[in-house]
Amino acid sequence: MLDDIDKDLLKLLQNDSKQTNKALSHALGLSVTAVYERIRKLEKNGIISKYVALIDKKKVDKAFVAFCHVKLVQHSQDYVMKFEREVRKLDEVLECYHISGDYDYLLKVLVEDMEAFREFMVKKLTNINHIGSTHSMFMISEVKHTTAITL
């Protein structure tokens, strides 16, 4: 489905989506039209899902990252769906995964500082019903963070 040129193209676009087709065509050794059509195809079949601006969390005072394990008291369809619906609404939660292991969910939470995290836990997260227990870990430093998938 994806040939080597597509993979190179995706690598370039995952690192900088503001490059012109001309620059891409040069980097890939293709014509501008060919690049244009490959991108269009990648967009159409949903391989490229969106184009976004990434912002530096330190610059906007949202550098406190917490990882929060959550266990539900019960795993009925109702409780699970309600929890997932509510958690999706929380702006502080950037990521939420249903995972294997001792806990049911792993959340990545982004806030200003520990005080804001406390507020988040008390007023928002544990306000969702049916949460049995939670366990939080805090980021000391970010060693690596990329959105680029290597193909």
- Give the residues lining the site for a second copy (CB under 8 A): 2, 10, 13-18, 45-57, 59-60, 62, 65, 67, 84, 87-88, 91-101, 105-106, 110, 137-151
100 binds, among DNA, a second copy, none (CB under 5 to 8 A by kind): a second copy
149 binds, among DNA, a second copy, none (CB under 5 to 8 A by kind): a second copy
Which 35-94 positions form the footprint of DNA (CB under 7 A)? 36-38, 40
Shortest separation between residue 46's beta carbon and a second copy, angstroms: 6
- What separation in angstroms does the CA of 14 have from each of 19, 67, 78, 93, 112? 11, 26, 38, 23, 28
DSSP structure class, residue 150:
P
- What separation in angstroms does the CA of 100 have from each of 26, 63, 88, 104, 105? 45, 28, 20, 7, 8
Instruction: Report yes or no: 80 and 35 within 8 Å, Cβ to Cβ.
Output: no
Which 1-40 positions form the footprint of DNA (CB under 7 A)? 5, 20-23, 29-34, 36-38, 40
133 binds, among a second copy, DNA, none (CB under 5 to 8 A by kind): none
DSSP structure class, residue 103:
S
Please, is 111 exposed, middle or buried when counting C-beta atoms within 10 Å of its C-beta (0-12, 13-18, 19+)?
A: buried
Q: How many binding residues for DNA (CB under 7 A)?
A: 15
Footprint on this chain of DNA (rule: CB under 7 A): 5, 20-23, 29-34, 36-38, 40
